[in-house]
Amino acid sequence: MTYLDLTHPVLAHMPAYPGDPLPEIRCIAEIETDGFTDHQITSGMHIGTHMDAPLHMLAGGARVTELEVAHFFGRGVLLTAKDRALIDVDVLDGVQLQHGDIVLINTGFHHQFWQPAYYANYPELSPALAEALVTAGVSMLGLDTPSPDRAPFAIHKILLRKPVLIIENLTNLDALAATLDGPTGFDIVALPAKFHTDAAPIRVVAVGRAMSRGQSREP
């Protein structure tokens, strides 16, 4: 069994979606003076690798605390869509999706995470691809970009009405691709923190069933 972490670490002043506050992490107790260490974090819910619940875009939608735990586990499917402004339904050519799959799309954009271009030039999903994922009954879509779309966020709404939960700001997808002989062969564990909110930070781990180069890696 191999494990690959697909999650950005949460760091003070890491990049945030334009208009969102930057996170702050402050040490509020130290072993030398208090006998223990403690930290305080101030952050929006859409920082770093996180999951959108339906309430993020849909009035009356479910919060993270109201989601079925079964959503957070599934067969992984890795699609490649590099050097595209629009990710269309053709990325599914030759791929047989199953109900409950967790689909990840490797755009290569995670390499831009610390650059201004990350929030300015990211690719978007087409409505046709979003509808195809809904029709297939996938449980989650994971992206190495900050969003599947831009305002008025039509793709978010197509997915979250199902709901197809959305993971944003993945990393390490090139490393995942390098371990695989095809789009499948791994499972995903994607556990959000149980905040009573519209979104939450999430730890995403690929668990290899048929990875070809057999070593656990960290980003």
CB atoms within 10 A of CB 42: 11
Strand stretches in 63-176, DSSP E: 73-80, 86-87, 102-106, 124-125, 140-143, 165-168
Query: In this structure, what token pair is assigned to residue 39?
Result: 């930290």
The span from the CA of 27 to the CA of 193, in Å, is 21
Ordered per-residue pLDDT tens for the chain, 219 residues: 689 999 999 999 899 999 999 999 999 999 999 999 999 999 999 999 999 999 999 999 999 999 999 999 999 999 999 999 999 999 999 999 999 999 999 999 999 999 989 999 999 999 999 999 999 999 999 999 999 999 999 999 999 999 999 999 999 999 999 999 889 999 999 999 999 999 999 999 999 875 444 444 444
The span from the CA of 29 to the CA of 37, in Å, is 5
Altogether, the residues listed in the chain come to a count of 219
Residue 97 lies in a domain: yes
The span from the CA of 147 to the CA of 100, in Å, is 21
Q: How many helices (H) and strands (E) does the chain have?
A: 4, 12
Query: In this structure, what token pair is assigned to residue 190?
Result: 């994607």
Residue 77 lies in a domain: yes
CB atoms within 10 A of CB 33: 7
Residue 217 lies in a domain: no
The CATH code of the domain that includes 203 is 3.50.30.50
Residue 81 lies in a domain: yes
Residue 146 lies in a domain: yes
What letters, b where the CB count within 10 A reaches 16 and e where it falls short, cover 135-167?
Answer: ebebbbbbbbbbbbbeeeebbbbbbbeebbbbb
Structural domain harbouring 138: 2-9+46-208
Q: What is the pTM of this model?
A: 0.93
Residue 19 lies in a domain: no
